[in-house]
Amino acid sequence: MGKYVIAGNWKMNKTPAEATELISAIKPLVADATCDVIVGVPFVDLQAALDATKGTKIGVAAQNCYWEKSGAFTGEIAADMLRVMGVGYVILGHSERRTFFGDTDATVAKRVRGALDAGLTVILCVGEYLEQRELGITGEVVAMQTKIALNGVSEEELARVIIAYEPVWAIGTGKTATAEQANEVCALIRNVLTDLYNETAAKAVTIQYGGSMNAANAAELLAMSDVDGGLIGGASLKPNDFATIVAAAK
Ligand code: PEP
């Protein structure tokens, strides 16, 4: 399926000096990685992360961006600003942005547009709340989020989109989806992509699982046919655990 990508989402953790330290610890541990490795850091850590990853294959991601190029948008960061710095990736639509900061499917779609126009690669997060899973509407929710976010995204641009399936009930809770649950929804997302584009394009997209993935459960999740990597929160702050997950992505 898609190429394996393991991305850390550091959330609101680490100062620039701490980011340098953490990346220095991660670097030798993932030097032989056969998958792509990304660290998603707070805005203020981006330069430190770019400096610390220089000369390595580790990519750097921001955790959000705005869709306008410039203007009176106090507190926002434009996708172009990230690109000019040398940032390659941006995480968009994370459930914490949707739940705590008012992101909607419509604003996520605008952010995706802005990021792709700026030349960034997007890690697009989708996933259902527990109530939605219990109602049996996981498929509908995830399909809708995917379709809205990709509205207007061309097949060529899709090559710069990674999708992270992150059931909200599994994020930061220690509750992981079973490998079968993760694979079922990742496969469903791939079917949505086949309908929107075609089978070849859909197969080339990296579809990650995220939600309490850790050193102990990564191998089983990553062995599933439609799981092409992971978006890792808590465990990405622990160099050995993160490296174990990277090593499991073969
Ligand atoms: C995340 O933040 O995207 C995430 C999956 O977090 P955690 O691994 O801590 O559940």
Q: Which residue CA neighbors atom 4 of ligand 1 most closely?
A: 233
Ligand 1: distance of its center to the CA of 8 in Å? 8
Predicted pLDDT of residue 74? 98
Is 9 a pocket residue for ligand 1 (Cβ < 6 Å)?
Answer: yes
Is 23 a pocket residue for ligand 1 (Cβ < 6 Å)?
Answer: no
Predicted pLDDT of residue 208? 98
Alpha-carbon gap, residue 124 to 119, rounded angstroms = 15
Q: Which residue CA neighbors atom 1 of ligand 1 most closely?
A: 233
Predicted pLDDT of residue 175? 87
Beta carbons within 8 Å of 40's beta carbon, 6+ residues apart: 7, 8, 9, 10, 60, 61, 62, 63, 89, 91, 123, 231, 236
Predicted pLDDT of residue 174? 86
Is 241 a pocket residue for ligand 1 (Cβ < 6 Å)?
Answer: no
Ligand 1: distance of its center to the CA of 72 in Å? 32
**Number of the ligand 1 atom closest to the C-alpha atom of 164:** 3
What is residue 137's three-state secondary structure?
Answer: coil
Residues annotated as catalytic (active site), given as ranges: 94, 166
Q: What is the pLDDT of residues 186-238, one digit of tens each?
A: 999 999 999 999 999 999 999 999 999 999 999 999 999 999 999 999 999 99
Is 213 a pocket residue for ligand 1 (Cβ < 6 Å)?
Answer: yes
Tokens 């990674």 found at: 162
- Please report, for the chain, the start and end positions of each structural domain, with discontinuous segments joined by +: 5-248
Ligand 1: distance of its center to the CA of 159 in Å? 24
**Number of the ligand 1 atom closest to the C-alpha atom of 125:** 3
Give me the tens of pLDDT residue by residue for the chain, a chain 250 residues long: 789 999 999 999 999 999 999 999 999 999 999 999 999 999 999 999 999 999 999 999 999 999 999 999 999 999 999 999 999 999 999 999 999 999 999 999 999 999 999 999 999 999 999 999 999 999 999 999 999 999 999 999 999 999 999 999 999 898 899 999 999 999 999 999 999 999 999 999 999 999 999 999 999 999 999 999 999 999 999 999 999 999 999 8
CATH of 5-248, one of 3.20.20.70, 3.30.465.10, 3.40.640.10, 3.40.630.30: 3.20.20.70
DSSP H helices, 54-204, are 79-85, 95-100, 105-117, 130-134, 138-149, 155-158, 179-196, 199-204
Predicted pLDDT of residue 1? 76
Q: Which residue CA neighbors atom 2 of ligand 1 most closely?
A: 233
Tokens 């306008």 found at: 68
Q: Is 200 exposed, middle or buried (0-12, 13-18, 19+ CB in 10 A)?
A: exposed
